[in-house]
Structure 1
C-alpha cells in the first residue's frame, strides 16, 4: 500500500531540536535528543546528542524509530525507519507515516501505588493484581500504577508491552468515595525495571480516551494528595527536637 503524501518540511527543518525514540532489543525503547540537520521530501538527517548508545540499540537499515518535535507550541511525531547510521552518530531516516499531532498540556505528576487491571488490546493479553479470571501477576503488588497525572500513567507489571500498543486500564482512584476510572491508553515507552522483589516491566501510558470528568477527578486527586504530603512533611519538620 502506498504511503499518503505529506509535506514534512512544514514540521521539520534544519537546526531544529528533536526527540528520537530508538528501538532496543527485547521490545525496549531508548530516548535521546537530536538536532535536525537536513530535510528532503520524506527523508530527514539527524545528529544524536549522545556519542555512546545503550547496548542493543537497533541502528541497522530498516530499524524503526519515532521522531518528535515542537512547532509554535504544538507537538508533532512521525514514525520512520533508519536508512543509514553514519560516523558521529548521524542518522539518515525515511518517514513512513503521516505527521501526528500531540497534546503538549502539562500536568502535575504524583508518585503513588494503585492496583490496576490491564488489558493489552494489541497483543490480546491481560493482567490484574486480584481475582476475576484474568492472569494474576506472581508478585502480589503487581500490576500497579506508580505515577499518575491528568495526561497518563506509569505502570509496573509482568505483562509485556511494546511502544504504541493499545492498553485498556481500569483502577480505583483512592478518593473518600473511591471512583472507578476506565481509560484507553497507548504505550509511549517501555523498559525492564529491576526491583529488590524482582524484575518487572515499567511502561508510560498516554491517555487516548478518557471521560473528562474522570480526568478532572485525577487532577484534583493529584493536587490534593500533593498538598496533603507537603503539610505532613511540614508537621514532621516542626516536630523535630531542637539540637
Structure 2
C-alpha cells in the first residue's frame, strides 16, 4: 500500500500567525472567530482564541472540527483541524487533518463513511403526505424509544388514538438497516443507489446514530444531482445520488454533525494513535524547576530596580540644576541675553 504523503503545514501556518476560524453550528450557520497560533509541531498546534467568552450555542469539545483560514475567500487557503484534547481556557489544542486547499466556504463539513441506514422512495406521495408521514415516523421512533427505555419518557404523552394507531403501524414502520457507503454532512448526503432518480425526487431516509435518543433518525431528502457509476464489471448498475435534507429536525441535524466530528476523530486516532497531549500549563512542575523560575523572577525584578535607581541618581541633579538656574545651559543663555541688551542700548545711543 502506498504511503500517504506527509504535508508540510509549516509552509502555511506559523507560530504567531493569525488565522480565521469557521465552525459549523447545529442550526446550519457558521460561527466565525479568529485566533493566534502559539505553538506548532508538524500537524499539531495550539490556538489562542480572540474571545474570552464564546456564544452559548458554541461548544468546543473533543471532536469539534474547525476550518483554519488564511487570507480571504477565493484568494486564501484553508485546512480542516480537529480538537484533540479538552480545554477550559482560550487555548485550544488542534490537529490538522486535511490538505491545504483554496478557501471556498461550504455550508457544512463532510465525511465519507459507512452508515447503517435505509431508504424508501416517495414518488407516489404528495408533498403534504410526505410531511405527514415523516412527522408520524418521528413520533413513532420517540414512542418506541421510550417504550424500550422506561427511564426516558416522552416529553408529550400520546393520545389513546395515537397509541392505537402506532400499535397497528408497528410492523409497517420497522426498517431493516444496512451499512451503506455515504458522504454525509449536516446539510445533505450522497449515496450510491441501485436505481436512478430524477432531480426533485424525494426519499425517506433512516440513519442509525448510536448516541441519539431515539437512535434512528427520520429524514426526508430531495435529489439535487445524480450520475451513473462508471464500472468495467458486468454487475447491476448503480447511480450516485446527491440529496439535500428537505425535512429534518434541528436536533437530528445536530446529532449528524456530532457524528461526523466523532467519526473524524476516530479515523485520526486509528491513523496516528491517541496523540492528544495536555497543554503546557497542565504539566506539573518539579520543585527544582519551580525554585529556578522563582529565582529568575526575583533576579529580573532586582536588576530592573537597580537600573531604575541609577537612572534616577543621574537625572535628579541635572534636573535640579536646570530649574535652579545653575546649569551650563542657563549661564550661556544669561550671557547671550546680556550681550543683546548691550547691543540694543549702544544702537539707541548712536541714533540709529
Please tell me the TM-score bracket, short chain as reference: 0.3 to 0.5
* TM-score of the pair, normalised by structure 1: 0.43
TM-score normalised over the length of structure 2: 0.31
Greater share of residues in strand: 1
Higher gyration radius (CA)? 2
Larger helix fraction of residues: 2
